[in-house]
Amino acid sequence: MVHGDDRDVKDDKKAPRGGRPRAVKPSGGLRAWRADMDSGAKGGKAGARGGAAEPAGLGARRLAVQLIEAVLVSSRALDDALETADRDPAVAGLEARDRGFARLIAATVLRRQGSLDAVLSRFLERPLPINQPRPRSILLAAAAQILMLGTPAHAAINLAVEQCRRDPKADRFDKLANAVLRRVSSEGPAILAGLDTPRIDIPDWLWKRWVASYGEPTARRIASASLAEAELDLSVKEDAAKWAERLGGVVLATGSVRLTEAGRIEELAGFKDGAWWVQDAAAALPSRLLGDVSGLEVADLCAAPGGKTAALAVGGARVTAVDLSSERLERLADNVARLGLIDRVTTIAADIATWDPDRQFDAVLLDVPCLSTGTIRRHPDLLHLKRPSDLERIVALQTTLLERAGRLVKPGGRLIYCVCSLEPEEGEGVVDAFLARSPEFQRRAIMAAELKGSIDWVTRKGDLRTLPFHEPSSGQAGMDGFYAARLVKAA
């Protein structure tokens, strides 16, 4: 299960999801970065064997394949797999740009696997062996570079062939890889252009759900936006305009700062000084629904790694941050300490379903575990890890946690329920059922103006519902899909 904030904040060096901090694009721009990767292929010739020097760039491709198989074969989260890989001395020895490029290749394969498989299948006389995933993974990685990442074909092909020859799990497939990838290079773009994208890249069960919930035109827009690489958004403690100028970004209408080019996150100006934290523009909205929290006692439930906790503390609240995982709470403590907010935050490791603090709070923010389908832009592995059978179990958990959160709210207090999921059962469904059982609570309608957002973000019932194609500012398309409801307890 994934908490909403896990998909917001990635600015802590100890973060188990994603390991070291990283931005969307590397220092020097994506074009220069890819040029570095491509030039490596020229240093080695496909066919080198045995003790021949390893061509530059091969390590990045090898890591990319390792990450692809971690998700598609072992059903592991991409960032967890990268953290594990980073503990391997061979991977740790790679330069940051190589590791970043490996993640980009893997993420592209996970986003566009349906399209890549469709192209590759045109050039395979028979399916590759199911019990030998390595050749397919190498082909997927190379095809993604050729068709989607702008890597020169000769570089991608040479390194893929070399990778096959040096890998005992794929050494019989070097000639096949060479032949198939040459045809991908020459014929693949036309085939790709004729595919029904983004439909082909979205799992059937998820596509059908989106069509049923939003209609096919909106479902297509959701799918297209979900398959795009997300920009990097920051929440700033103060003076967003100053930090946008300093970091080369723009201030969104919602108040977040968006960067389109950045280096390693911990090397950006203001990181060490605690001037900002990483948080998607949509993920920054739920905490604002509580209004003025100065001097209030607020419980942030399922709080780690701390994006919403930080926002509440910046607003002057005294925050009790509760999470099941002690390790995750360490991340939260590190984040708020870096931000200079530790004196306003108390952390408690506890299961929300059974936590009994023997007190109530002026306000409670509950960001429950969910399917996280609103965050596919940042986490394309979700397309392969989530199953329709997960929904019933997760809704039952959400129902339990909301019931518990309601008991923690003082009379007259406020309760925010939110999820980073697009599925109505996890949002409106859970809230409507809760209100039917809890007459002491009522919805307090959210107004687009209070969030400096669009009226399209507010449902007919007055709840927040952002979609991945929504614009947090004119001309700045893309934000996570979030749902939030604001409830008030009778005095």
Taking 60 as the threshold, does the pLDDT of residue 378 lie above it? yes
Q: Which superfamily, per CATH, for 232-489?
A: Vaccinia Virus protein VP39 (3.40.50.150)
Structure tokens given for 485: 């409801």
> Under CATH, to which class is 25-193 assigned?
mainly alpha
Strand partners, 346: 320
**pLDDT per residue over 327-345, tens digit each?**
889 999 999 999 999 999 9
Residue 305 preceded by cis peptide, ω within 30: yes
pLDDT band, very low/low/confident/very high, at 8 (cuts 50, 70, 90): very low
Residue 182: how many other CB atoms lie within 10 Å:
16
Q: What's the pLDDT score for residue 90?
A: 84
**pLDDT per residue over 408-429, tens digit each?**
999 999 999 999 999 999 999 9
Taking 50 as the threshold, does the pLDDT of residue 390 lie above it? yes
Instruction: Please give the model's pTM, rounded to 2 decimal places.
Output: 0.88
Any idea what DSSP says for residue 454? -
Instruction: Say if residues 283 and 7 touch (Cβ distance below 8 Å).
Output: yes
**pLDDT per residue over 166-208, tens digit each?**
999 999 999 999 999 999 999 999 999 999 999 999 999 999 9
Residue 359: how many other CB atoms lie within 10 Å:
10
Structure tokens given for 348: 């408690």
Higher pLDDT, 237 or 8: 237
Give catalytic residues, as residue numbers.
Answer: 420
Residues near 388 by beta carbon (within 8 Å), at least 6 away in sequence: 205, 206, 209
Instruction: Say if residues 71 and 170 touch (Cβ distance below 8 Å).
Output: no
Express as a percent the part of the chain with pLDDT over 70: 89
Domain ranges of the chain: 25-193, 232-489
